[in-house]
Amino acid sequence: MSKVMIIGAGGVGRVVTQKCASIPTVFSEIMLASRTKSKCDIIANEVGQGKVVTAQVDADNVPELVALINQFKPKMIINVALPYQDLNIMDACLETGVHYLDTANYEPLEEAKFEYSWQWAYQERFKKAGLTAILGCGFDPGVTGVFTARAAKHHFDEIHYLDIVDCNGGDHGKAFATNFNPEINIREITQNGRYWQDNEWVETKPFEIKQVLNYPKIGGRDSYVLYHEELESLTKNFPTIKRARFWMTFGQEYLTHLRVIQNIGMARIDSINYKGVDIVPLQFLKEVLPDPGSLGEDYSGETSIGCRIKGLKDGKDKTYYIWNNCSHQAAYDETGAQGVSYTTGVPAMLGAMMFLTGEWKKPGVYNVEEFNPDPFLEKLAAHGLAWHEEVNIDLEFDYNE
Protein backbone atom coordinates (compact mmCIF):
# COMPACT_ATOMS: atom_id res chain seq x y z
CA MET A 1 0.00 0.00 0.00
CA SER A 2 1.43 3.36 -1.07
CA LYS A 3 0.59 7.01 -1.32
CA VAL A 4 0.44 8.56 -4.79
CA MET A 5 0.08 12.15 -5.96
CA ILE A 6 -1.68 12.78 -9.26
CA ILE A 7 -0.89 16.11 -10.91
CA GLY A 8 -3.47 17.26 -13.46
CA ALA A 9 -7.27 17.37 -13.18
CA GLY A 10 -8.42 17.14 -16.79
CA GLY A 11 -10.19 14.18 -18.39
CA VAL A 12 -7.18 11.89 -17.96
CA GLY A 13 -6.71 12.98 -14.35
CA ARG A 14 -10.36 12.11 -13.70
CA VAL A 15 -9.84 8.56 -15.01
CA VAL A 16 -6.53 8.02 -13.20
CA THR A 17 -7.98 9.23 -9.91
CA GLN A 18 -11.07 7.04 -10.13
CA LYS A 19 -9.08 3.98 -11.14
CA CYS A 20 -6.51 4.43 -8.35
CA ALA A 21 -9.27 4.99 -5.78
CA SER A 22 -10.88 1.70 -6.82
CA ILE A 23 -7.78 -0.26 -5.74
CA PRO A 24 -7.04 0.73 -2.12
CA THR A 25 -4.89 -2.33 -1.60
CA VAL A 26 -2.31 -0.71 -3.91
CA PHE A 27 -3.11 3.01 -3.66
CA SER A 28 -3.64 3.58 0.05
CA GLU A 29 -3.83 7.39 -0.08
CA ILE A 30 -4.35 9.68 -3.07
CA MET A 31 -3.77 13.38 -3.52
CA LEU A 32 -5.06 15.11 -6.66
CA ALA A 33 -3.37 18.44 -7.34
CA SER A 34 -3.80 21.04 -10.06
CA ARG A 35 -3.44 24.74 -10.70
CA THR A 36 -7.23 24.95 -10.25
CA LYS A 37 -8.20 23.21 -7.01
CA SER A 38 -11.93 23.41 -7.76
CA LYS A 39 -11.44 20.94 -10.64
CA CYS A 40 -9.76 18.54 -8.22
CA ASP A 41 -12.60 18.95 -5.73
CA ILE A 42 -15.21 17.99 -8.32
CA ILE A 43 -13.36 14.76 -9.12
CA ALA A 44 -12.74 13.98 -5.45
CA ASN A 45 -16.45 14.45 -4.69
CA GLU A 46 -17.33 12.08 -7.52
CA VAL A 47 -15.05 9.43 -6.05
CA GLY A 48 -16.57 10.08 -2.61
CA GLN A 49 -16.01 8.64 0.86
CA GLY A 50 -13.01 10.89 1.49
CA LYS A 51 -10.77 8.68 -0.64
CA VAL A 52 -9.01 11.60 -2.35
CA VAL A 53 -7.51 14.75 -0.86
CA THR A 54 -6.96 17.75 -3.10
CA ALA A 55 -4.51 20.62 -3.34
CA GLN A 56 -3.62 23.62 -5.48
CA VAL A 57 -0.19 23.57 -7.10
CA ASP A 58 1.52 25.41 -9.93
CA ALA A 59 3.50 22.74 -11.79
CA ASP A 60 5.62 25.48 -13.36
CA ASN A 61 6.97 26.28 -9.90
CA VAL A 62 9.47 23.70 -8.63
CA PRO A 63 9.70 25.05 -5.03
CA GLU A 64 5.89 24.94 -4.80
CA LEU A 65 5.89 21.36 -6.07
CA VAL A 66 8.61 20.39 -3.62
CA ALA A 67 6.73 21.91 -0.70
CA LEU A 68 3.54 20.02 -1.54
CA ILE A 69 5.38 16.74 -2.12
CA ASN A 70 7.19 17.07 1.22
CA GLN A 71 3.88 17.78 2.92
CA PHE A 72 2.04 14.74 1.48
CA LYS A 73 5.06 12.40 1.13
CA PRO A 74 3.88 10.20 -1.76
CA LYS A 75 5.89 7.28 -3.07
CA MET A 76 5.17 8.17 -6.71
CA ILE A 77 3.99 11.13 -8.77
CA ILE A 78 1.60 10.35 -11.64
CA ASN A 79 2.06 13.31 -13.99
CA VAL A 80 -0.93 13.96 -16.25
CA ALA A 81 -0.33 17.72 -16.42
CA LEU A 82 0.97 19.56 -19.50
CA PRO A 83 4.05 18.23 -21.36
CA TYR A 84 5.77 21.59 -20.78
CA GLN A 85 5.85 20.74 -17.07
CA ASP A 86 7.51 17.31 -17.21
CA LEU A 87 11.01 18.51 -16.37
CA ASN A 88 9.82 20.66 -13.47
CA ILE A 89 8.03 17.68 -11.95
CA MET A 90 11.04 15.41 -12.53
CA ASP A 91 13.25 18.00 -10.81
CA ALA A 92 10.85 18.08 -7.86
CA CYS A 93 10.89 14.27 -7.68
CA LEU A 94 14.69 14.24 -7.54
CA GLU A 95 14.73 16.87 -4.80
CA THR A 96 12.18 15.00 -2.68
CA GLY A 97 13.17 11.37 -3.41
CA VAL A 98 9.90 10.41 -5.12
CA HIS A 99 9.38 8.11 -8.11
CA TYR A 100 7.87 9.45 -11.35
CA LEU A 101 5.49 8.43 -14.16
CA ASP A 102 4.07 10.40 -17.09
CA THR A 103 1.99 9.82 -20.23
CA ALA A 104 3.64 12.19 -22.75
CA ASN A 105 7.17 13.39 -23.37
CA TYR A 106 8.47 16.84 -22.59
CA GLU A 107 8.18 19.58 -25.17
CA PRO A 108 9.34 23.19 -24.85
CA LEU A 109 6.58 25.77 -24.62
CA GLU A 110 8.05 27.94 -27.36
CA GLU A 111 8.42 25.18 -29.98
CA ALA A 112 6.29 22.19 -31.04
CA LYS A 113 9.15 19.71 -30.77
CA PHE A 114 8.68 16.21 -29.43
CA GLU A 115 11.87 14.51 -28.26
CA TYR A 116 12.82 12.27 -25.36
CA SER A 117 16.35 13.71 -25.22
CA TRP A 118 15.51 16.13 -22.41
CA GLN A 119 14.08 13.38 -20.21
CA TRP A 120 16.60 10.70 -21.14
CA ALA A 121 19.25 13.15 -19.92
CA TYR A 122 17.93 12.52 -16.37
CA GLN A 123 18.99 8.85 -16.51
CA GLU A 124 22.09 9.07 -14.31
CA ARG A 125 20.50 11.42 -11.79
CA PHE A 126 17.52 9.12 -11.24
CA LYS A 127 19.77 6.07 -11.13
CA LYS A 128 22.10 7.66 -8.59
CA ALA A 129 19.11 8.67 -6.48
CA GLY A 130 17.70 5.14 -6.61
CA LEU A 131 14.51 6.44 -8.22
CA THR A 132 12.46 5.07 -11.12
CA ALA A 133 11.02 7.30 -13.84
CA ILE A 134 8.53 5.63 -16.22
CA LEU A 135 8.02 7.63 -19.41
CA GLY A 136 5.05 7.63 -21.77
CA CYS A 137 2.63 5.35 -19.93
CA GLY A 138 -0.62 6.31 -21.64
CA PHE A 139 -1.94 4.43 -24.65
CA ASP A 140 0.11 5.91 -27.48
CA PRO A 141 2.72 6.32 -26.20
CA GLY A 142 2.28 3.62 -23.60
CA VAL A 143 0.27 0.53 -24.39
CA THR A 144 1.57 0.61 -27.97
CA GLY A 145 5.08 0.24 -26.54
CA VAL A 146 3.97 -2.63 -24.31
CA PHE A 147 2.26 -4.25 -27.31
CA THR A 148 5.55 -3.99 -29.25
CA ALA A 149 7.49 -5.46 -26.33
CA ARG A 150 5.07 -8.39 -26.23
CA ALA A 151 5.56 -8.94 -29.94
CA ALA A 152 9.34 -8.94 -29.53
CA LYS A 153 9.22 -11.28 -26.52
CA HIS A 154 6.70 -13.84 -27.73
CA HIS A 155 6.26 -13.59 -31.51
CA PHE A 156 9.43 -12.38 -33.27
CA ASP A 157 13.14 -12.92 -33.37
CA GLU A 158 13.44 -9.69 -35.33
CA ILE A 159 10.88 -6.92 -35.84
CA HIS A 160 11.37 -5.29 -39.24
CA TYR A 161 8.25 -3.18 -39.83
CA LEU A 162 6.12 -1.44 -37.21
CA ASP A 163 2.97 0.54 -37.98
CA ILE A 164 1.10 2.03 -35.02
CA VAL A 165 -2.49 2.69 -36.10
CA ASP A 166 -4.80 5.01 -34.15
CA CYS A 167 -8.45 5.39 -35.15
CA ASN A 168 -11.10 7.39 -33.38
CA GLY A 169 -14.29 6.08 -34.92
CA GLY A 170 -16.48 8.05 -32.54
CA ASP A 171 -18.84 10.99 -33.01
CA HIS A 172 -19.22 13.70 -30.33
CA GLY A 173 -21.67 15.82 -32.33
CA LYS A 174 -19.59 19.00 -32.20
CA ALA A 175 -18.62 20.98 -35.30
CA PHE A 176 -14.98 20.95 -34.15
CA ALA A 177 -13.42 19.65 -30.95
CA THR A 178 -10.23 17.90 -29.89
CA ASN A 179 -10.20 14.76 -27.76
CA PHE A 180 -7.50 16.00 -25.41
CA ASN A 181 -5.99 19.38 -24.56
CA PRO A 182 -6.63 21.46 -27.73
CA GLU A 183 -3.34 23.33 -27.44
CA ILE A 184 -1.28 20.13 -27.26
CA ASN A 185 -3.40 18.34 -29.85
CA ILE A 186 -3.18 21.07 -32.50
CA ARG A 187 0.56 21.60 -31.91
CA GLU A 188 1.10 17.87 -32.38
CA ILE A 189 -0.78 17.35 -35.63
CA THR A 190 0.21 20.55 -37.47
CA GLN A 191 3.96 20.00 -37.25
CA ASN A 192 5.79 18.16 -40.03
CA GLY A 193 5.50 14.40 -39.86
CA ARG A 194 8.35 11.93 -39.95
CA TYR A 195 8.91 8.21 -39.90
CA TRP A 196 11.87 5.87 -39.44
CA GLN A 197 13.30 4.26 -42.57
CA ASP A 198 16.65 2.43 -42.91
CA ASN A 199 18.26 4.00 -39.82
CA GLU A 200 17.22 7.58 -40.51
CA TRP A 201 14.25 9.88 -40.16
CA VAL A 202 12.26 10.76 -43.27
CA GLU A 203 10.38 14.05 -42.91
CA THR A 204 6.95 14.62 -44.44
CA LYS A 205 4.59 17.55 -44.70
CA PRO A 206 1.52 17.41 -42.43
CA PHE A 207 -1.03 14.92 -43.81
CA GLU A 208 1.15 14.25 -46.87
CA ILE A 209 0.94 10.44 -46.66
CA LYS A 210 -2.59 9.02 -46.61
CA GLN A 211 -3.98 5.51 -46.82
CA VAL A 212 -7.42 4.07 -46.14
CA LEU A 213 -6.98 1.48 -43.38
CA ASN A 214 -9.55 -0.90 -41.98
CA TYR A 215 -10.10 -1.00 -38.24
CA PRO A 216 -11.90 -3.73 -36.26
CA LYS A 217 -15.63 -3.02 -35.77
CA ILE A 218 -15.15 0.42 -37.42
CA GLY A 219 -14.20 -0.23 -41.03
CA GLY A 220 -12.20 1.87 -43.48
CA ARG A 221 -10.95 5.30 -42.40
CA ASP A 222 -8.63 7.88 -43.97
CA SER A 223 -5.36 7.48 -42.07
CA TYR A 224 -2.36 9.82 -42.17
CA VAL A 225 1.29 9.49 -41.20
CA LEU A 226 2.22 11.75 -38.28
CA TYR A 227 5.21 11.87 -36.01
CA HIS A 228 4.58 10.45 -32.56
CA GLU A 229 7.10 10.25 -29.74
CA GLU A 230 7.05 6.49 -29.21
CA LEU A 231 8.69 6.04 -32.62
CA GLU A 232 11.86 7.55 -31.14
CA SER A 233 12.04 5.18 -28.19
CA LEU A 234 10.85 2.07 -30.02
CA THR A 235 13.39 2.37 -32.84
CA LYS A 236 16.09 2.87 -30.20
CA ASN A 237 15.03 -0.10 -28.08
CA PHE A 238 14.29 -2.45 -31.00
CA PRO A 239 17.18 -1.73 -33.40
CA THR A 240 16.18 -4.40 -35.95
CA ILE A 241 13.26 -2.19 -37.04
CA LYS A 242 13.72 -1.11 -40.66
CA ARG A 243 10.66 1.12 -40.85
CA ALA A 244 8.38 2.53 -38.16
CA ARG A 245 5.37 4.77 -38.79
CA PHE A 246 2.48 6.23 -36.82
CA TRP A 247 -0.94 6.58 -38.44
CA MET A 248 -3.95 8.54 -37.17
CA THR A 249 -7.43 8.96 -38.64
CA PHE A 250 -8.99 12.34 -39.45
CA GLY A 251 -12.29 13.19 -41.13
CA GLN A 252 -12.41 15.74 -43.91
CA GLU A 253 -14.55 18.15 -41.89
CA TYR A 254 -11.97 18.13 -39.10
CA LEU A 255 -9.15 18.80 -41.54
CA THR A 256 -11.10 21.67 -43.13
CA HIS A 257 -11.55 23.34 -39.73
CA LEU A 258 -7.87 22.77 -38.98
CA ARG A 259 -6.78 24.42 -42.23
CA VAL A 260 -8.95 27.44 -41.46
CA ILE A 261 -7.50 27.70 -37.96
CA GLN A 262 -3.99 27.69 -39.43
CA ASN A 263 -4.81 30.04 -42.29
CA ILE A 264 -6.23 32.74 -40.00
CA GLY A 265 -3.31 32.49 -37.57
CA MET A 266 -5.12 30.88 -34.65
CA ALA A 267 -2.65 27.96 -34.51
CA ARG A 268 0.26 30.32 -33.75
CA ILE A 269 2.20 29.55 -30.57
CA ASP A 270 4.11 32.84 -30.45
CA SER A 271 2.83 35.79 -28.43
CA ILE A 272 0.94 38.73 -29.98
CA ASN A 273 -0.15 41.98 -28.36
CA TYR A 274 -3.91 42.54 -28.18
CA LYS A 275 -4.98 45.87 -26.67
CA GLY A 276 -1.90 46.00 -24.51
CA VAL A 277 -2.10 42.37 -23.39
CA ASP A 278 0.22 39.63 -24.67
CA ILE A 279 -1.71 36.53 -25.72
CA VAL A 280 -0.84 33.33 -27.58
CA PRO A 281 -3.48 32.70 -30.29
CA LEU A 282 -3.54 28.93 -29.81
CA GLN A 283 -3.95 29.32 -26.06
CA PHE A 284 -6.87 31.70 -26.64
CA LEU A 285 -8.41 29.23 -29.10
CA LYS A 286 -8.14 26.51 -26.45
CA GLU A 287 -10.36 28.56 -24.16
CA VAL A 288 -13.18 28.90 -26.69
CA LEU A 289 -13.15 25.33 -28.04
CA PRO A 290 -15.19 22.62 -26.26
CA ASP A 291 -13.52 21.20 -23.16
CA PRO A 292 -12.46 17.63 -24.06
CA GLY A 293 -13.72 16.56 -20.65
CA SER A 294 -17.24 17.65 -21.62
CA LEU A 295 -17.51 15.47 -24.73
CA GLY A 296 -18.27 12.14 -23.10
CA GLU A 297 -22.02 12.34 -22.47
CA ASP A 298 -23.00 12.43 -26.14
CA TYR A 299 -20.03 10.51 -27.56
CA SER A 300 -20.92 7.42 -29.59
CA GLY A 301 -18.67 4.92 -31.33
CA GLU A 302 -15.26 3.72 -30.28
CA THR A 303 -11.54 4.01 -30.66
CA SER A 304 -9.24 1.35 -32.13
CA ILE A 305 -5.51 1.57 -31.46
CA GLY A 306 -2.87 -1.05 -32.07
CA CYS A 307 0.37 -2.22 -33.66
CA ARG A 308 0.73 -3.97 -37.01
CA ILE A 309 4.09 -5.69 -37.20
CA LYS A 310 6.05 -7.73 -39.70
CA GLY A 311 9.32 -9.53 -39.00
CA LEU A 312 11.06 -12.87 -38.70
CA LYS A 313 10.39 -15.85 -36.46
CA ASP A 314 12.54 -18.96 -36.83
CA GLY A 315 13.83 -17.60 -40.13
CA LYS A 316 10.35 -17.18 -41.62
CA ASP A 317 8.26 -14.06 -42.34
CA LYS A 318 5.52 -13.42 -39.81
CA THR A 319 2.83 -10.75 -39.46
CA TYR A 320 1.12 -9.78 -36.22
CA TYR A 321 -1.63 -7.37 -35.20
CA ILE A 322 -2.40 -6.49 -31.58
CA TRP A 323 -5.04 -3.87 -30.67
CA ASN A 324 -7.67 -2.53 -28.31
CA ASN A 325 -11.11 -1.12 -29.11
CA CYS A 326 -12.65 1.18 -26.51
CA SER A 327 -16.28 2.32 -26.43
CA HIS A 328 -16.73 6.02 -25.69
CA GLN A 329 -20.09 5.35 -24.06
CA ALA A 330 -18.79 2.55 -21.84
CA ALA A 331 -15.91 4.78 -20.74
CA TYR A 332 -18.31 7.59 -19.93
CA ASP A 333 -20.71 5.32 -18.06
CA GLU A 334 -17.87 4.13 -15.83
CA THR A 335 -15.87 7.31 -15.28
CA GLY A 336 -17.68 10.30 -16.79
CA ALA A 337 -14.85 10.66 -19.34
CA GLN A 338 -14.77 9.87 -23.05
CA GLY A 339 -12.74 7.06 -24.57
CA VAL A 340 -9.57 9.01 -25.41
CA SER A 341 -9.18 10.11 -21.78
CA TYR A 342 -10.01 6.58 -20.62
CA THR A 343 -7.43 4.88 -22.85
CA THR A 344 -4.75 7.22 -21.48
CA GLY A 345 -5.81 7.17 -17.83
CA VAL A 346 -6.15 3.42 -17.34
CA PRO A 347 -2.56 2.64 -18.48
CA ALA A 348 -1.20 5.46 -16.30
CA MET A 349 -2.83 3.91 -13.25
CA LEU A 350 -1.66 0.46 -14.28
CA GLY A 351 1.93 1.60 -14.83
CA ALA A 352 1.95 3.05 -11.33
CA MET A 353 0.57 -0.24 -10.04
CA MET A 354 3.33 -2.13 -11.84
CA PHE A 355 5.91 0.00 -10.03
CA LEU A 356 4.27 -0.10 -6.61
CA THR A 357 3.87 -3.90 -6.73
CA GLY A 358 7.51 -4.36 -7.77
CA GLU A 359 6.90 -5.55 -11.34
CA TRP A 360 8.41 -2.46 -13.01
CA LYS A 361 11.04 -1.17 -10.65
CA LYS A 362 14.62 -0.24 -11.49
CA PRO A 363 16.54 2.98 -10.84
CA GLY A 364 16.82 5.24 -13.86
CA VAL A 365 14.64 6.67 -16.64
CA TYR A 366 12.85 4.16 -18.87
CA ASN A 367 10.20 3.95 -21.55
CA VAL A 368 7.49 1.36 -20.97
CA GLU A 369 8.78 -1.10 -23.57
CA GLU A 370 11.94 -1.56 -21.48
CA PHE A 371 9.92 -3.39 -18.81
CA ASN A 372 8.35 -6.86 -18.83
CA PRO A 373 5.10 -6.54 -20.82
CA ASP A 374 3.43 -9.64 -19.40
CA PRO A 375 2.22 -8.51 -15.95
CA PHE A 376 0.91 -5.24 -17.42
CA LEU A 377 -1.07 -6.97 -20.17
CA GLU A 378 -2.33 -9.62 -17.75
CA LYS A 379 -4.17 -6.83 -15.88
CA LEU A 380 -5.08 -4.45 -18.71
CA ALA A 381 -8.34 -6.14 -19.71
CA ALA A 382 -9.46 -6.50 -16.09
CA HIS A 383 -9.22 -2.74 -15.70
CA GLY A 384 -11.28 -1.92 -18.77
CA LEU A 385 -9.08 -2.23 -21.87
CA ALA A 386 -9.42 -5.67 -23.43
CA TRP A 387 -6.84 -6.43 -26.11
CA HIS A 388 -6.78 -8.84 -29.05
CA GLU A 389 -4.13 -10.30 -31.33
CA GLU A 390 -3.94 -12.10 -34.66
CA VAL A 391 -0.99 -13.61 -36.50
CA ASN A 392 -0.18 -14.03 -40.18
CA ILE A 393 -2.87 -11.72 -41.55
CA ASP A 394 -2.88 -9.07 -44.26
CA LEU A 395 -1.68 -5.85 -42.62
CA GLU A 396 -2.69 -3.62 -45.60
CA PHE A 397 0.82 -2.23 -46.12
CA ASP A 398 3.39 -2.58 -48.88
CA TYR A 399 6.53 -4.05 -47.34
CA ASN A 400 8.56 -3.96 -50.54
CA GLU A 401 9.24 -0.22 -50.45
Q: Which CATH number does the domain housing residue 32 bear?
A: 3.40.50.720
CA distance 296 to 49: 24
pLDDT bin (cut points 50, 70, 90) of residue 187 is confident
164 and 226 both lie in a single domain: yes
Cβ atoms of 118 and 192 closer than 8 Å:
no
72 and 161 both lie in a single domain: no
pLDDT bin (cut points 50, 70, 90) of residue 1 is low
Interior CA angle at 145 toward 236 and 129, to 5°? 70
130 and 147 both lie in a single domain: no
Host domain of residue 111: 2-135
26 and 157 both lie in a single domain: no
> Last residue of a domain, which of 90, 109, 135?
135
Q: Which of 244, 219, 238 is nearest to 164 (CA)?
A: 244
Is the bond preceding 141 in cis, omega lying within 30 degrees of 0?
A: yes
> Last residue of a domain, which of 95, 117, 135?
135
Residue 195 lies in a domain: yes
169 and 250 both lie in a single domain: yes
209 and 110 both lie in a single domain: no
Q: What is the CATH number of the domain that holds 307?
A: 3.30.360.10
190 and 298 both lie in a single domain: yes
131 and 204 both lie in a single domain: no
pLDDT bin (cut points 50, 70, 90) of residue 401 is low
Q: Indicate if the pLDDT at residue 261 is higher than 70.
A: yes
Residue 238 lies in a domain: yes
Q: How many domains does the chain have?
A: 2
**For the residues 356-384, what does the mean pLDDT come to?**
98
Model confidence, pTM: 0.94
Residue 29 lies in a domain: yes
Q: Indicate if the pLDDT at residue 33 is higher than 80.
A: yes
> Last residue of a domain, which of 108, 135, 162?
135
- The per-residue pLDDT for range 110-130, each reduced to its tens digit, is 776 788 999 999 999 999 999
128 and 159 both lie in a single domain: no
pLDDT reported for residue 73: 97
